[in-house]
Structure 1
Amino acid sequence: MSSLVALPASADELRVLAAGAIAPIVRTVAADFERRSGIHVKVDNATGGVVDKRVRSGETVDVVVAPEGVLRGLGKDGYLNLTSERAIARVGIAVAVKQGAPSPAIATVAQFRKALLDAPSVAMIDPKAGGSSGIYLERLFEQLGIAAQMHAKEVLVPGGLVAEKLVDGSAVLALHQQSEILQVKGAKLVGPLPAAIQNYTVYVGAVDARSSSGAAGRAFLTLLGEEEARRAMVEHGLMPEAQ
């Protein structure tokens, strides 16, 4: 990665709050940032909805990385410094089954719909927890005319790695952001949602308007756009945004 900008000596810790799918990349960059700058980075992660609530509640953070809608809302209301905003990556929703299980056909919308109806149990993020994939899937089930059938078989997860429900036997099918699925040993990625109904979450970062470590926060966001971080994004199933 390129060298860091000069950082104030007072910045001895950087607190980063990251939403779901982007968290593994944030942690990877945090380790490199610590090594290069000598500044300890504390990374915490939650769903986008929880990130929004925590920042609005007055929690002390320096950098927020979250879905675009969440971050822009926080910026509009004065919680974030949008002049520091940086688009980082996007990720789509995918389907997974337990390793060794047959993969259902999901290439078309009709096939995907059938796979959902055929599955006795389907794990996904609880929309009420504020996870972007869960919120979208709830709307999608309505559009596909299968909301009632899906509500009867949903295994709702408040946060974390949905595909773990495949491994422990709680669900037969899992729907989650592709990068999250790839983190679960014992889960098999079937593939992304059909293009006609795919939904991408764009992750954006910005410095908290109340932070006293603005220079360090901006340097951290710069590192998230460097080539090494972008390669890590691809390896984790994310698509880097143009810088």
Structure 2
Amino acid sequence: MSYRFVAASAFLLAACGGAQAADITVFGTVAAKSALEQIAPAFEASSGHKVTLHIATTGELKSDIEKGAHFDVAFLTAAALDDLARQGKLDAAGKVAVARSGVGVTVARTASKPAIGNADDFKRTLLAAKSITYSAQGATGPTMKKIFEQFGITEAMGAKTVIISKITAPQAVAAGQAEMGFTQISEIFDSPEAQLAGPLPAEVQVYSTFSAAPSATASDRAAAQAFVNALAQPAAKAILKARGLEPL
């Protein structure tokens, strides 16, 4: 029996029964890109609905929603969803907490993995690195700046930090723009040219929680809620876990 069939069968429990097929636009954060690209086809197969994924950073998607962009489901950080709910953009009653992700360290596929097992090793590795990188958008930048401050190395790291905006940290590392990068662990799983060296040490790790909710103006409220509910099913949780996210 194929994995696709098993997954589709499992998602059937969360689908819309005999409801008429609908087109659903899902705004999904880049941290969940590969997971959503597997979950959406399984949901389509079981429900008959058509899912269109629009993937970008949480900040970009939140801005689009605030400007009036049409969507049926948003899968973003919990903080962003809560803010959008306060603005009346989401149906807060339909929100589901889906997963969390920690920050990971990425290096080129051909590079040796650095010592990052504890805070002391991590500090030494940071100071020894020729260059590091992280995105100007999202939560990773503030997390790393806080760690630098905690370690007392803000000035030392500033001179060798490459801030990126158009590409991901794994892409920057793979392209040779930096020796080491930092981003959500799930994003590192998506890069064929970079590898996950490991998560940040437990002493300094910071998790981002991701939730999903239907739009307050969803084209088909029942179909949108069905997709949200499907994200909490065992089949979806298995996919999320395999792609570097921790299901809740």
TM-score by length of 1: 0.91
Residue in structure 2 matched with residue 166 of structure 1 by the alignment: 173
Q: Secondary structure at the match of 1:110?
A: helix
Find the residue that maps to 1:111 and give its secondary structure.
helix
Aligned to 2:50: 40
Aligned: 1:196 with 2:207: no
Partner residue of 1:5? 16
> How large is the RMSD of aligned CA atoms in angstroms?
1.6
Of 79, 94, 101, the match for 2:89: 79
Q: Structure 2: which amino acid aligns with 1:91?
A: S
CA distance in 2, matches of 1:184, 1:125: 15
Q: Secondary structure at the match of 2:114?
A: coil
Deviation at 1:238, TM superposition (A): 1.0
Q: 1:175 aligns with which of 161, 167, 182?
A: 182
Q: Which residue of 2 aligns with 1:228?
A: 235
Kindly state the Cα deviation for residue 148 of structure 1 after the two structures are TM-superposed: 2.5
SS of the equivalent of 2:111 reads coil
Give runs of aligned pairs for residues 115-134 of structure 1, distance below 5 A.
Answer: 115-126=125-136, 129=137, 131-134=138-141
Q: Which letter maps to 1:170? A: Q
- C-alpha displacement of 1:149: 2.4
Letter in 2 for 1:149: A
Structure 1: distance between partners of 2:85 and 2:49 = 25
Residues 1:152 and 1:40: Cα distance change in structure 2 (over 3 Å): same
How far did residue 159 of structure 1 move?
A: 5.4
2:139 partner amino acid: S
Gaps of 5+ in 1: none
Q: Is the 2:131–2:180 contact (alpha carbons within 8 Å) kept by the matching residues of 1?
A: yes
2:114 matched to 1:104? yes
| Aligned equivalent of 1:211 | 218
- For the 8 Å contact 1:86–1:221, the answer to whether it is kept is yes
Percent identity between matched residues is 30
SS at match of 2:55: strand
CA contact (8 A) 1:90 1:240 kept: yes
Aligned residues of 1:48 and 1:132 also touching (Cα < 8 A): no
- Size of the alignment, in residue pairs? 237
Q: Letter of the 1:74 partner, please give it.
A: L
From 184, 187, 191, the equivalent of 2:191 is 184
Q: Determine whether 1:17 maps to 2:27.
A: yes
Counterpart CA distance in 2 for 1:113 and 1:22 is 29
Q: Unmatched 5+ residue regions in structure 2?
A: 1-9
Q: Evaluate the alpha carbon distance shift between residue 53 and residue 225 of structure 1 in structure 2; reply closer, same or farther with a 3 A threshold.
A: same
- Paired with 1:213 and 1:153, the residues of 2 have a C-alpha distance of 49
Match of 1:29 in 2: 39
Distance in 1, matches of 2:161 and 2:235, equals: 38
Structure 1 residue 151, shift from structure 2 partner? 2.4
Decide whether the 8 Å contact of 1:123 with 1:162 is kept in 2.
Answer: yes
TM-score, normalisation: structure 2: 0.90
